[in-house]
Amino acid sequence: MGSPGLLRLRGVVKRFGSFTAVRDIDLDIVEGEFFTIVGPSGSGKSTLIRLLVGMDEVTEGEIWLRDKRIDKTPANLRPTCMVFQSLALFPHMTVGQNIEFPLKLRKEPQDKRRARAEELLDLLRLPRSYYDKRISQCSGGERQRVALARALAFDPEILFFDEPLSALDYRLRKTLEKELKDLHARTGKTFVYITHSLEEAMVMSDRIAIMKEGRFEQIAVADEIYSAPVSRFVAEFMGEVNLFPLSAGADGRIASDALSVRPGMRLSQLTPGSGGLLMVRPEYVRLAGDADGFDFSLKGIVHGEYALGSRIQYEIETVNGMVTVEKLREDRLTATEGQTLVLGFNAENTHFIGEAA
Ligand code: ADP
Ligand code: MG
């Protein structure tokens, strides 16, 4: 993954009047990585990316590209940065003209432009015959590929993406997610990608930053964000999750209003006298007849069963509210609605979030 610190942000702030959209962000993006920023609508993702590409100016802080400070450099003089947006194609031009646009700006000769456009068509797996096709005759997925080809024609050091797939239907999105990941691998470019979709982020990214109210809550590899979130917000944002308030007495013994705890159980992160949330993902909760062999258990009544393709999800009513349990289809419960069961899980499959419950 090359040399570190291709793009560095230090104390970046963006205010609109009295409203602060981006709050004191420090970030190092590594050369060649696929870095994704995930967050709910309004969390400041687009604002941040606009600062990075120079479409907007920082209120405070510094942005560095390698050893050059670029936060005062206008967008058109940041040739290394480029935003890819699906709607930014020229609809009346051909696919070839669109892809060659950046090369034309650079006054490259026609034959070189065409050769590069054809290379990019190949790279994006579009037939070369598309060179003369009008954008208006292309499907949504094809337009997306053309836009990508054009972005690559700029030969930027970093490609920025602001929710490029959000308007597409599910199947096409899934296909393009994989293609983007593949394209990233084949080009070796640095990708900075924004989405509000956890799934999209998980499929493609090397690292993920979770953004909330203008700040990064957590930056980590996808697995870590999923299995070791730092806060309730991150845990809940990254898919279905069950959270149980826990505390430890002065003697270190775990106490919980909701869970039966195996006698003598200790959690290393739960220091005596402190409290927090015990997290367990739905796929780690077992359903059983009794609590034997589990570190943590509680009783529940099956409330609903939902088929999710290869998996089945159960909503189970407990004293801790609804608990979500997931099973593979082949392990589908014979028991269903209204039946009382024991839900059990083990400490090794949990994660402790040390914050006030
Ligand atoms: P996201 O892309 O995560 O959905 P945005 O970065 O677009 O969020 O917006 C973050 C916040 O900043 C929102 O509350 C939005 O209303 C506000 N905002 C964005 N651009 C402007 C602007 N030009 N003027 C005033 N407020 C803005
Ligand atoms: Mg946005």
Buried b (16+ CB within 10 A) or exposed e, 246-274: bbbeeeeebebebbebbeeeebeebeeee
Q: What is the mean pLDDT of residues 13-31?
A: 97
Ligand 1 centroid to 208 CA: how many Å?
21
**Which amino acid residue places its CA nearest to atom 17 of ligand 1?**
21
HEC-encoded secondary structure of 196-253:
CCHHHHHHHCCEEEEEECCEEEEEEEHHHHHHCCCCHHHHHHCCCCEEEEEEECCCCC
Cα 164 to ligand 1 centre (Å)? 18
Pick the CATH number of 243-354 from 2.40.50.100, 1.20.1280.50, 2.60.120.10, 3.90.920.20: 2.40.50.100
pLDDT above 90: percentage of residues in the chain: 65
Return d(Cα 343, Cα 315) in angstroms, integer: 11
What's the burial of 307, exposed, middle or buried (CB within 10 Å: 0-12/13-18/19+)? exposed
**How many residues are listed for the chain in this entry?**
357
What does pTM read for this prediction?
0.87
What digits encode the pLDDT tens for the residues 342-352?
A: 999 999 999 99
* φ, ψ of residue 158 in degrees (nearest 5): -130, 135
- How high is the pLDDT of residue 175? 86
Q: How many A from CA of 179 to the centre of ligand 1? A: 29
Contact in structure between 319 and 242 (CB atoms under 8 Å)? no
> Mind listing the pLDDT tens digit for each residue in 252-304?
889 899 999 999 888 888 888 899 999 999 999 999 888 899 999 999 999 98
The protein residue with its alpha carbon nearest to ligand 1, atom 21, reads 16
Ligand nearest the Cα of residue 38 is 1
Dump pLDDT digits (tens) for 295-309: 999 999 999 889 988
Q: Is the pLDDT of residue 2 over 70?
A: no
Q: Which residues line ligand 1 (CB under 6 A)?
A: 16, 19, 21, 39, 41-47
Atom 23 of ligand 1, residue of closest alpha carbon:
16
Ligand 1 center–CA 148 separation, angstroms: 25
